[in-house]
Amino acid sequence: MVQNNVSEFMEKLIAKNPGETEFHQAVFEVYNSVMGFVDKNPKYKKARILERIAEPERMLTFRVAWVDDKGEVQVNRGYRIQMNSAIGPYKGGLRFHPTVTASVLKFLAFEQVFKNSLTTLPMGGGKGGSDFDPKGKSDNEVMAFCQKFMQELFRHIGPDTDVPAGDIGVGGREIGFLFGQYKKLRNEFTGVLTGKGLNWGGSLIRPEATGYGALYFVEEMLATRKDSLDSKIIVISGSGNVAQYACEKAHQMGGKVVTLSDSDGYIYDPEGINAQKLAFVIDLKNVKRGRIKDYATKFGCKFVAGKRPWEVKCDVALPCATQNEIDGNDAKKLVKNGCFCVGEGANMPSTPEAIEVFLGAKILYGPGKAANAGGVATSGLEMSQNSMRLGWTREEVDQRLNCIMKAIHAQCVEYGKQGNFINYVNGANIAGFIKVADAMIDQGVM
């Protein structure tokens, strides 16, 4: 019955949103979890909450024309998906990557709605970005693009309306250029973006928050089996913002991180990536904007070109790069090699087949909307500090982040417990859904 309802719903959704495969995948994953719950609570059906949550409140698409260093005109497409504002202003990152499409951003915005709800903070869900590729561009070109992108976006955002942040391809440099242009156009210095620089409204711990939060979540998952990260072998994908700080916290918690990757391949360092080696990665990626292969040359370890790290034997896997980076075969390989805990730093890194393998094997599987919610949670803390016009200490923000990750874990346990097993997928989806759905009912049909 539940399966039939999900299939029927998906058929209509696919017909209405043709070709948007990532968006279909994200909706299917959530509705597969919540359909049974909705069936038992007819008020959600009557208010047609499922149909309404899957329909963005507003979708903006705009041309971004800019001039490169050679004086040539370049044309990109900009987007902002304002998905749901039932529990607060739209909140979610901007992604600059050539693979960005409406489908990718709709999946991310949809996920963001439930994730933000789980954080316990008052934030709605949104996402945006462009098919612009910052890789290989000069600082001047990135600035030119960001200014032109904001020249349109500024009309649609604001500290009480929509507060974007970073995501793939959008870090501190890009947020700076975007904020500068917003301020110029509006003549207002407000908390309109998060991930800002520390001396102009940013929060301590925001750069670290997604990676640290993922590890706090993993720590909670392991504690349910009376285990910890101590001496565990950890495989991480990606080498950007999330991967870097996941690596740092995993190392601090006593684990041994043996891989990092980028879109060219992965490095395997059986000695483990310590603080000194991570400092090299951070400088390589954030300052020199180089490739992870250089790590292998520098530290004399293996670089595996064109592959992802899931073939490496590990206890814990932390996908921190991009969507659909673990397929069914990768998942089988991980489980066969003894991996018993997966914490998703990235958004939707596991395909539906991979999730089935993890749940079937009853390993600890923390989906992104729960495990990586520390980033947006700390963005929420940055918003609070901006509103109060004061800044909390590093310890204070870290402590709040830790409490939020524990609260998210507790919600997953409350709604996901199946006997001795915790189905974190169901837990996160149902807990995130209830708060948003109830707020929508309270606010009437719109």
Please give the Cα distance from 371 to 346 (Å, whole number). 9
119 counts as binding ligand NDP under rule CB under 6 A: no
Binding track over 174-213 against ligand NDP, x by CB under 6 A: ------------------------------------x---
- What residues numbered 228-287 form the site for ligand NDP, per CB under 6 A? 238-243, 262-263
Instruction: Compute the distance between CA of residue 281 and CA of residue 245 in angstroms, rounded to an integer.
Output: 11
In angstroms, what is the minimal distance from the CB of 334 to ligand NDP? 17
Residues β-bridged to residue 165: 93
CB of residue 168 to ligand NDP, shortest distance in Å: 4
User: How far apart are the C-alpha atoms of 145 and 376, rounded to whole Å?
Assistant: 24
The minimum distance between CB 347 and ligand NDP, in angstroms, equals: 4
CA gap 134, 168 in Å, rounded: 10
Using CB under 6 A, which residues numbered 365 to 424 contact ligand NDP? 372, 375
351 contacts ligand NDP (rule: CB under 6 A): no
Distance of CA 257 to the CA centre of its chain: 21
Instruction: Tell me if 346 contacts ligand NDP by CB under 6 A.
Output: yes
Distance CA(358)–CA(54), nearest Å, equals: 26
Give residue number: closest CB to ligand NDP: 240
Give the burial string for 345-380 (b: 16+ CB within 10 Å, else e). bbbbbbbeebbebbbeeebbbbbbbbbbbbbbbbbb
Cβ-proximal residues to 385 (8 Å cutoff; 6+ apart), any chain = 203, 391, 392
Annotated catalytic, 302?
Answer: no
92 binds ligand NDP, rule: CB under 6 A: no
Which among 91, 106, 115, 127 is annotated as catalytic? 127
Angle among Cα 375, 349, 310 to the nearest 5 degrees reads 115
Contact 374, 217 (CB under 8 A): yes
Alpha-carbon torsion angle 390, 392, 393, 399, nearest 10: 180
Q: Is 321 in the site for ligand NDP (CB under 6 A)?
A: yes
Supply the minimum distance, in Å, between the C-beta of residue 398 and ligand NDP.
15
Is the Cβ of residue 203 or residue 372 nearer to ligand NDP in the bound state? 372
Instruction: Give whichever of 243 and 440 is closer to ligand NDP, judged by the CB atom.
Output: 243
Catalytic positions: 127
* Residues forming the site for ligand NDP (CB under 6 A): 166-169, 171, 210, 238-243, 262-263, 320-322, 345-347, 372, 375
